[in-house]
A and B are shown apart, each in its own frame.
Chain A
């Protein structure tokens, strides 16, 4: 297992540089939720050179569509969704200074290259652990695209949201390294 880091938002390049694949990170502060439908709208605004509903530079984006908050709670279950659906849009956001993405699953070659080029990290949270992840969420409010329902952009205030670094600024990939370590010789033949 790697090192343990605690990050506070907004995130600087200095925060990102030491992180390596396999490091465990907790994040506190304000972060933004977005899935592919919200990404598509953000990119349309960028293309039209219009103002975005959320800041991108130095920010953390969490790929999640939470379940509705029952009475007395700030959010329902809130685990990560599969990240590759965001791949076509991600390099544009990295170019604008997005620093941390949290999701689950492999990223495209283009995204991994953009992570190295623009100095960012991609982290994985535990897929399917929605009840556990929700514990880190202290406040939640919809700030854009209410009509998208679960896919609306939310601002979350989180305390020690746990994740593990998958793709770092040096081009490492934990999914690749992790699988190689436990792959049986027989299977590689």
Chain B
């Protein structure tokens, strides 16, 4: 049994939360630079250039890329040969977020659903823990902004609607969202499973670095077809018109019940923040 002290987990989560919010990943930066060549609209090009400049300012001056430093989503793969010592695992994740949001001057965005009273420390977190073989612990800290989350949708389709039904709902969701989720976006698509699993698949698909291909040939083709249609919509950067409405579509698919065809669409803004740490 390998022992991992909660102190190390707290540090890792704290550092990841700050890094994710200050430093746009190289995958996103490279995609932004590539998009400058694909965008025809002068306004769209200007916006993309300003997003690159914004990322540089944030990194150099150590302030967040976006004031919406997000709801703190954490994915964790805990090796079954790991023993967490010095406290419980979930509390360590929470403490890491609490410290990171305080020490990094990140915005606390969590509130009571009706009174809207702020919880003050960006808790609770949204956490998905998988127990996996091995003796390591992998943690992804994925702060998620509210604007793009609000434009996400879930459909329980009829099986007869098939791929055309899925395709049309995805394109319709992105186009109707227009400027609201801060395009260019990354469109996470979860197909199959059940009600909650499809949403989790859509969210998890966003962990895949931008610019990488879906290893599944069928899903890879579906992603290209969807992206092609979305980028013909004319929505463009910030919804002000242009070719680059979305950077990518990411699909995760699994079998579903014989009665169902679940589809979840999780939209991610251009400030796609995810930091992976292996302990």
Contact = CB atoms under 8 A, between A and B. Distances in A.
Interface of A: 1, 37, 64-70, 73, 76-79, 81-82, 84, 104-106, 124, 126-132, 134-135, 147-151, 164, 174-175, 177-184, 186-187
B240 A130 contact: no
A60 to B, nearest CB: 18
Interface of B: 40-43, 47, 50-51, 53-55, 57-58, 61-69, 105-109, 116-118, 120, 145-147, 150, 178-180, 182, 229, 232-236, 238-243, 269-271
28 contacts: A64-B67, A65-B109, A69-B105, A70-B105, A73-B63, A77-B58, A77-B63, A77-B64, A82-B147, A82-B180, A104-B147, A104-B238, A105-B178, A126-B51, A129-B51, A130-B66, A131-B58, A132-B50, A132-B53, A148-B116, A148-B118, A150-B109, A151-B116, A177-B241, A178-B41, A178-B236, A184-B232, A187-B234
B65 A124 contact: no
A128 B65 contact: yes
Contact of B64 (A67, A81, A126): A67
B43 A79 contact: no
Contact of B269 (A65, A128, A135): A128
B118 to A, nearest CB: 4
A186 B232 contact: yes
A49 to B, nearest CB: 24
A140 B229 CA distance: 44
Nearest to B180: A105
A56 B105 CA distance: 31
Contacts of B238: 104, 124, 126-127
A178 B43 contact: yes
Given A1-B43, A131-B65, A134-B63, A179 B241 contact: yes
Contact of A37 (B66, B116, B233): B116
Contacts of B61: 131
A95 to B, nearest CB: 25
Contact of A65 (B41, B50, B67, B235): B67
B62 A70 contact: yes
A182 B234 contact: yes
B107 A150 contact: yes
Given A104-B147, A128-B269, A130-B63, 10 more contacts: A68-B105, A76-B105, A77-B107, A104-B179, A131-B63, A150-B67, A178-B241, A181-B41, A181-B234, A184-B233
Contact of B47 (A69, A78, A126): A126
B107 A106 contact: no
Contacts of B47: 126
Contact of A175 (B55, B68, B179): B179
Nearest to A83: B180
Top 4 closest pairs, chain A to chain B, by CB: A178-B241, A183-B234, A182-B234, A184-B232
Contacts of A68: 105-107
Nearest to B42: A1
Contact of A132 (B42, B57, B178, B269): B57
A122 to B, nearest CB: 12
B40 A182 contact: yes
Contacts of B64: 67, 76-77, 130-131
A183 B107 CA distance: 37
Contacts of A179: 178, 233-236, 239, 241
